[in-house]
Structure 1
Amino acid sequence: MRAARPDEALFPAVPEHNFAVRRMTLIALLVAAVVLPCVFVAAMAFNDLRSREADATDATLRTVRVAEEHALKVFDMNEALDARVVDLVQGLDDDGIRQREISIHEKLQTMGGGYPQVAAMSIFGRDGTLLASSRFYPVPSVSISQREDFVGIRNGQVLEHVSKVMVGHVAGEVVFNTGIARRVDDGSFAGIVSVALRPSYFNAFYRELLGGRDSPMTMALTRADASLLAHYPVTPLSKVEAPMRHNAYTDALAEGRRAGVVRVRSTLDGEGLIVAFRRVGSYPVYVTCGYRTSAIWAAWYRHLSVLILSMFVPSIVLWCVIWLSLKRLAAEEEAWERWQAEASMRRSIESAYRQSRKMEALGNLVGSVAHDFNNLLMIVSANAQILRRRGAATFDRELCAIERALKSGQSLTRQLLGVARKQPLRSETLDVARWLPGCHDLLRASLGAKVALVMDVGADVWPMHVDVAELELALINVAVNARDAMPNGGRFTVRTSNVSFRHEDGFPITGDFVQLSLEDTGVGMPPDVLSRAFEPLFTTKPKGMGTGLGLPQVFAFCERSGGLAAIDSAIGAGTSVRLYLPRATQTPELERPAEPVAERRDAPHGLRILLVEDNDEVAAGTEALLQMMGHEVTCTFNADIAVERLDAARAAQKRTGEPLPFDLVISDIHMPGKLNGIDLAEHIQTFETRLPVILVTGYAEELERARHVEARMLSKPFDIALLDKFLQTLQREIAQSPTHQAGSNALPGITS
């Protein structure tokens, strides 16, 4: 059974919340809650509209049948009246009718006086002259010879048996006439008999039939040519006499249809109508009943409003509930993500803490080994210098081999201290665009002849703040790894760019950085190797081919510089190492021409040096070298003894006025006793006459404290030539100023 990891114990796995499925479900419910009511309302509204139109059509059909029966009775009665009048004057010519006018008038008055629809009954002669009337006696001099109904009846036309609406000459009111021809025995035309009907009679009947002016329906009586005879609601005569516009109703009349339903727009008020029409018997007259579509739409809108309210009020409540559920889900997802991020961050912090403890332990181990190794290198280096200065020419080859081994040892020690974060960094502002092309030869030599080098350096790259020597070493380490990953050749690309990281980006670092991308086209790394690529002392190379310190040095250098190193790789896809190094806030200084070196002159005497070193062999070798350079050396075992000695000398100086017996103090930092080298330098700062101090160390952790004291640092194992140069400079200063007691602590030639 697999044991649980510590991070799993602290942060147990939580089942993944499928927020996407829940969100899609709620959105689907919301869409359904919107779409389904809308579809239902639309379907109901459509069906309701069709139903109301069908009901309106049925109502018009029923009403028009009643109106047709009424009109048929009226016209049948008129036809009977006309026939009785014809029989009354049968065999009489115009003069005969005039001679019997009084009796004919009385009979006409008797026949038509009992019918409310009859306005007048008249007899006209062959020439259209009024011969007798139910309204007047004697008749006025009136002729209708030019009237359409008279001309039409005389010519045998059917339509004109019913005239258009007019103000009658005899009746003196708005009427339309129905007439038949009078003929003599031989069948020739002898005149007409006309009955004037009141449109108001039909209007009154239609009003009662429809139930008043609030009815949504209209009624009309028209001729076969669509001329209006009667209409309800009542229409002014000017509109009645206006010709009817072409529409579906006129088309139906032109086709000779006896009944039907059409949709038209009224010629009187322009309103849309559903019109049912029927022909009145064999007469050239039609009865129509129209239903206003505006009334249908108004009723439909009222019903739709009630439907919408009854349907959408609960739907809106449901929408709000789903919307609130979506908001709650979003808040829950955000809280979940924050919790996950916090848990992940805590796991990362815990992992980083364990890694830090691991690196700290490794660093302490490596640092201790490197410190002792540095002392050994110092011993070997000092004794090799002694042999060279003593002129051991016969051992020149052996000394060169020792010096090469010393350089390799120094490089290895530097890598060990760099991985352990104990290698001092000498950061400076670097112009990448100017500096990187100068590394071409260095990278070219590291890559070998089979690998092509491509450098893509942007001109607008920011300057960065780094240790140039450590950066060069990092580039070399990556280049060597890339060379080994491309045994058959390939391409190594160096690219630079500017990047900025914000806190919300979730990157481990924030701020402005210069990105150095180092990419190869090699075999790549499997995931298990990639996960351990930055682990110290881990290597997949054959024995003797790698130390496992290359990529860890790169990672440690970037981290200590305030940046980060990242690596991406896949089998067959090559490897990409990205260095993120901090942007410099200062502009890099331009290179200045080297100042002419003053001609070296021999110093009149050597320096008096207090050497503080706990390692006897290192102290002996350094003392011998300094003595060979012509200096007087006094050795002490640790800083405690050195402080006692210096305090005693300062007390003697105050008593006698004699200068201090030392011109310079060279001290190691780590020594046994209560005080170390930095404590010694701080103590010397309290002297009225200060002494120059050089501190020797291999640890970066001492640099921060050392910056606050007037001292210079030398990294172990230091270059004897560099120390010699400084000592010669200090000698010349003392020679030029006899009263100078090493009052200046500026140490030219020593790198901090």
Structure 2
Amino acid sequence: MTSERFDPPEASRPPASHQDEARFPAVPEQNFHVRRITLIALLVAAIVLPCVYVAAMAFSDLRARMADATNVTLRTVRVAEEHALKVFDMNETLDSRIVDLTQGLDDTGIRAQEGEIHEKLRTMGGGYPQVAAVSIFGREGDLLATSRFYPAPELSIADRDDFTGIRDGKGLEHVSKVMTGHVVGEQVFNTGVERLAADGSFAGVVSVALRPSYFDAFYRELLGGSDTTPMIMSLVRTDGAILAHYPRRPREPQAMAPHSPLAEALAQGRRAGVVRMHSDIDDDNEILAFRRIGAYPVYALCGYRTSAIWAAWYRHLSVLILSMFTPSIVLWCVIWLSLRRLSAEEEAWERWQAEASMRRSIESAYRQSRKMEALGNLVGSVAHDFNNLLMIVSANVQIARRRGAPGLDRELSAMERALKGGQSLTRQLLGVARKQPLRNETLALERWLPACRELLRASLGAKISLVMDIGVDIWPMRVDVAELELALINIAVNARDAMPNGGRFTVRAANINFRRQDGFPLTGDFVQLSLEDTGGGMPPEVLARAFEPLFTTKPKGMGTGLGLPQVFAFCERSGGLAAIDSAIGAGTSVRLYLPRATAAPEAEPPVETGVEESGAPQGLRILLVEDNDEVAAGTEALLQMMGHQVTCVFNADIALCLFDDAHARQARTGEPLPFDLVLSDIHMPGTMNGIDLAEAVQAFDTRLPVILVTGYAEELDRARHVNVRVLSKPFDIALLEELLQAIQRELAQTGADPAAAAHPAD
């Protein structure tokens, strides 16, 4: 690595001798520091003190405005209460006079004197602007007489809430809800009392219809006669039904919200008070004062919109800020210029230090980059070599199983369990290095998840209960089943460690759709798989790093820091997302969002019930291409035990030479190719890898089947674009045996040799 020469200017070049030091005396660094701290302290004080003063004044002003608004509402609601009380007292007096007027008269008697009663009712109610009509109704709700019409029209209020309520003794219905009156044909609410017969039984109702517009007009005048007033006035029943309201809004509700602070206060029977709430009528936050109207089931309300308070406060704050900070800005500029001059005095020293620091930073960043690159390559190389070791052990265990090893079943089972653990660790390492191949398939979760119950129970331990809530009609998913199983195990193990004294682990599944307008990073249909525990939870600083590779809070030897990173990498490469919610004392919830499959899950192939052929399929002639001697030896021995003929070569170059010779011999003599199948590793020394070999074999215009084996995701993706079968390391020997048997059956069914069919003899 070459380095450029850096020559600082004369003013910044370090002194070369005592003579230079005498000519250019260096300013001690400590003086720069003290002076800078002093100026910065002055600047901070010049900023903080005005800000504190403005904040204190603004807070005090806001509290004063809130208090003033509360006082205004309390004074105004008292006026509204007194006004409404006079109106309702007058109505009560009017009702009593009408009851006295009809004393001793039944329905027939009232109808007989309807003309005289009509004139008296018209005289009684006609002088009050709030009264729309005064009416008398009979025992069955029929209209007997009214101040508006003579003769009274035929109508009945038998099904109206106020009539049935008064008849049944419900005090609330002595003041009805706002309705379109049967008699007056306009918006009114009624105040009524019952009429009693001579024997004390219910004889009917005397009703006075009041106009809400009268109260609206009074409230408008009370609030200054402007539609832009920040205050509101209302008259409501104890159940929240609105009788009158100002100012009116289009499509406003007919009742207050049932679960608002006001509704709770009215339900508690409070006669007066102040609440703060969001009003559904005005769609704004309000300071709301309320007072009950005497003994009537009615309240007067006065509210002040907090948005108007905030708007006025903002205007006052802007004036305060402008007047306070204008001189402060001048002071800040003076201090800032002093800091600039101080910086100029030490510019030479700073530039020299900056150059040295820059060089150190570049070298450090380069070393860090090389280290991370080497770490990724190291993880991939270790995983590849570890895969080969697992393949050797797995092949030899299968050989021992097939040859029969009496008395060694326990030991072989332990080795197989260790192999599964090694395969899991390899997948984790490759997941961190982003080299773990995915074998995606369509999965029906409602059929697959219950089968994992025992696996999850084993991972959780005996102290933790397992609950599964799969949901209904869960969509199929497109995932790697082995990676999904490993992710569930990793999360279950973390949950077990978070609940050492026992707890509950819940698995939930549900369908979810993310839309672009919702602002979620994913869009489309997904299956949400939630895994929740009741452990102690994670603090925010741990939660922020939960998905970091190699980060763990477990004691040494208890965790690798690869579990949750594997979960995140699996979901991300599957086209989904993983998320964690956790809080101290609230447990942890890990949610996996996995994409919905476009195709339905493949049905299980039916069991063939036909009569098997008397002769077993003939063994295959297999060309094994493997550079690792021990892997090749174990695989060759196992294939031979399966009844196949095996030719083993070291790399793809040698294998291609064999094919060239066989192809040339076939062209001369018509002799078929000597192989039925090619089983090759992908990552090998030489000029060609396994994929190159497969493409070269297919170039011979032969239908010879090829099976490739790899442990790298990038190689697996490329191999899938070639017409070959692919196995990812470490693979299950039983899977290979099943694949070979399928190829044997295909050859037996066709009755043809694919190698011989490629080029028939001339």
Normalising by structure 2, we get a TM-score of 0.48
Normalising by structure 1, we get a TM-score of 0.49
